[in-house]
Amino acid sequence: MDTSSRTHSQEQFERACRSIPGGVNSPARAFGAVGGTPPFIQRGDGPYLVDIDDNQFIDFVGSWGPHILGHRHPAVIEAIQQAIETGTSFGAPTVSESDLAELVVELVPGIEKVRMVNSGTEATMSAIRLARGFTGRNVVVKFAGCYHGHVDSLLVQAGSGALTLGAPSSPGVPAGCTADTLVLSYNDVAMLRQAFEQQGDSLAAVILEPVCGNMGCVIPTDDFLRTLRQLCTDHGTVLIFDEVMTGFRVDLGCAQAWLGVTPDLTTLGKIIGGGMPVGAYGGRADIMDAVSPVGAVYQAGTLSGNPIAMASGLATLQQLQQADPYEQLEHLAAQLEQGFRKSAAAADVPVQVNRVGSMLTLFFNENPVTDLQTATASDTDRFARWFHAMLDRGVYLPCSQFEALFVSAAHTPELIEQTIAAASEAMQRLSNPA
Ligand code: HOZ
């Protein structure tokens, strides 16, 4: 399929750029790192996206994670429609908030109590404030290449769009906001031990993506995670897993269940809203009870716990619980991983494929990718050419080397085969550009 005709998208992008900075409401989707014009989406349908030029793409972005069931899953749409009939927002308690909270508590090992917010950024910002309020300490550890939304204190050596667009540490964040942020290297156990030896008793929190997705998919070593858990316990430091991307993605119990390491606090986003704007932070009851109105740590939101968003999230999690698609996702993603590896080998293009369950990144890199330094050694020009060759063949991938793609339960072995065929052609194009 040739999907290179994108006249209407081009017109709409030019129009959008006149009234919206860069034509987009979130920088990661602007094609800044790969060049060209992003397709404007008309609709989603199961594993497909259709743009306004009527091009159909096999979608491996899934709205950057939420659509683990594919687009417009009937159970999710029906739940949203039912909720809309009763109103759109009340700013008062509803039963749906407890329904979703109870299910989250049941599914996620580290969550005894949970507070709903509206985005992943809000969740991590609130979790950091809570950890500081609970411990009475200020210093927070983060890891280079991990991304926790656009929270001032965490926008240091950040991944995702910040890394893609070359601004891992943003202007507009006063030095004072990051003075208490300590940045360490992902998977570096010696550096971690040293930081705790030097200032363990003044560390309020350590926050990390337990499987990183925002410098591309990077997998933690067992030693790294277990050492981190032990050091946090020994020093009374709050361990925060940012599971905005991995939550309900790598396992129904999130990455913490898959890894067998339980954090003190967890932040969630994406799948928990089933495509509606929902974030959440939760964890140990003694810590969560420091949040207002029980405790003194203030956090609030007019639209938090919005009934339509709750209905969408609840339907999504219930569907995951009933259908249990994780084995199917593992098979599909393993098929894709093998296909990508073979297509690269056949074209003599050096790549690394990092994958956990249905999240995967193909790095154009000769060496293993284990942290930010090794991730940024990837050939991003090559990535851009591969990305466009795939898009022209009807495969919609994340538009950055430093993101993970997502397989959904709506994909089929046939669609994965079709994607691998496109990948083989695209790889051949890389080694023989003419
Ligand atoms: N946080 C997303 C990437 N990891 C980007 C979301 C977007 O731009 O829509």
Note the pLDDT of residue 16: 96
114-135: average pLDDT? 98
Same domain, 331 and 316: no
Verify whether ligand 1 is closer than 6 Å to residue 26 (CB atom): yes
Q: Which residues are catalytic?
A: 147, 242, 270
Last residue of a domain, one of 264, 289, 323: 323
Q: Stretch 151-173: mean pLDDT, rounded?
A: 77
Which pLDDT score, from 0 to 100, does residue 217 have? 98
Model confidence at 378, in pLDDT bands (50, 70, 90)?
Answer: very high
Q: Residue 433's pLDDT band (boundaries 50, 70, 90)?
A: low
**Residues 273, 144 within the same domain:** yes
- 58, containing H or E segment: strand 56-59
**Residue 159 scores a pLDDT above 90:** no
CA–centroid distance, 390 to ligand 1, in Å, is 20
Report whether pLDDT(197) > 70: yes
Give yes or no: residues 130 and 253 share one domain: yes
No. of helices (H) and no. of strands (E), the chain: 15, 14
pLDDT band at 175 (very low <50, low <70, confident <90, very high): confident
Instruction: Quick: pLDDT tens for 274-314.
Output: 999 999 999 999 999 999 999 999 999 999 999 999 999 99
- Torsion angles phi and psi, residue 304, rounded to 5: -65, 135
Predicted local confidence at residue 1, as pLDDT: 63
* Closest ligand 1 atom, residue 398 Cα: 3
User: pLDDT digit string (tens) for 221-259?
Assistant: 999 999 999 999 999 999 999 999 999 999 999 999 999
Percent of the chain whose predicted confidence (pLDDT) is above 70: 98
What is the domain-level CATH number for residue 382?
Answer: 3.90.1150.10
Per residue in 212-231, pLDDT tens?
Answer: 999 999 999 999 999 999 99
Alpha helices (H) in 200-349, listed in sequence order? 222-235, 254-259, 285-288, 307-323, 326-346
- Parent domain of 303: 74-323
Instruction: Quote the pLDDT of residue 415.
Output: 98
pLDDT in tens, 83-107: 999 999 999 999 999 999 999 999 9
The yes-or-no verdict on residue 139 having pLDDT over 70 is yes
Query: Which CATH number belongs to the domain containing residue 296 in this structure?
Result: 3.40.640.10
Domain count, the chain: 2
Which atom belonging to ligand 1 lies closest to the Cα atom of 403?
4
- Residue 403 Cβ inside 6 Å of ligand 1? The answer reads yes
For 28-57, what is each residue's pLDDT tens digit?
899 999 999 999 999 999 999 999 999 999
Mutate to test the pocket of ligand 1, among 64, 212, 271, 361 (most ligand atoms within 8 A of CB): 64
**pLDDT score of 278:** 98
- DSSP secondary structure letter of residue 219: P
Instruction: Give pLDDT, residue 300.
Output: 95
pLDDT given at position 168: 61
Residue 85 CA to ligand 1 centre (angstroms)? 30
Q: Which string of DSSP letters, residue by residue, matches 134-199?
A: HHT--EEEEETT----S-GGG-SS--HHHHHTT-SS-TTS-HHHHTTEEEE-TT-HHHHHHHHHHH
Taking alpha carbons only, the member of 248, 237, 236, 238 closest to residue 273 is 248
> Which residue's CA is the nearest one to ligand 1's atom 5?
28
- Cα(392) to ligand 1 centroid in Å equals 22
Is the CB–ligand 1 distance for residue 408 below 6 Å?
no
28 close to ligand 1 (CB < 6 Angstrom)? yes
Same structural domain, 341 and 364:
yes
Closest atom of ligand 1 to 120 CA is 1
Query: Do 253 and 359 share a domain, yes or no?
Result: no
- Ligand 1: nearest atom to the Cα of 63: 9
Residue 149 shares a structural domain with residue 210: yes
Per-residue pLDDT, 295 = 96
Residue 164 shares a structural domain with residue 29: no
pLDDT higher than 90, residue 320 = yes
Amino acid 309: pLDDT:
98
Picking from 280, 305, 323, the residue at the C-terminal end of a domain is 323
At 384, the pLDDT band (50, 70, 90 cuts) reads very high
In the reported structure, the alpha carbon of residue 388 is separated from the centroid of ligand 1 by a whole-number distance in angstroms of 19
**pLDDT score of 434:** 59
Q: Is 160 touching ligand 1 by the criterion CB < 6 Å?
A: yes
* pLDDT at residue 179, as a whole number: 86
Query: Is the domain of 279 the same as that of 316?
Result: yes
Sheet of strand 48-51: strand arrangement: 41-45, 48-51, 56-59, 395-396
Q: Which of 297, 323, 349 is the last residue of a domain?
A: 323
Q: Verify that 250 and 337 share a domain, yes or no.
A: no
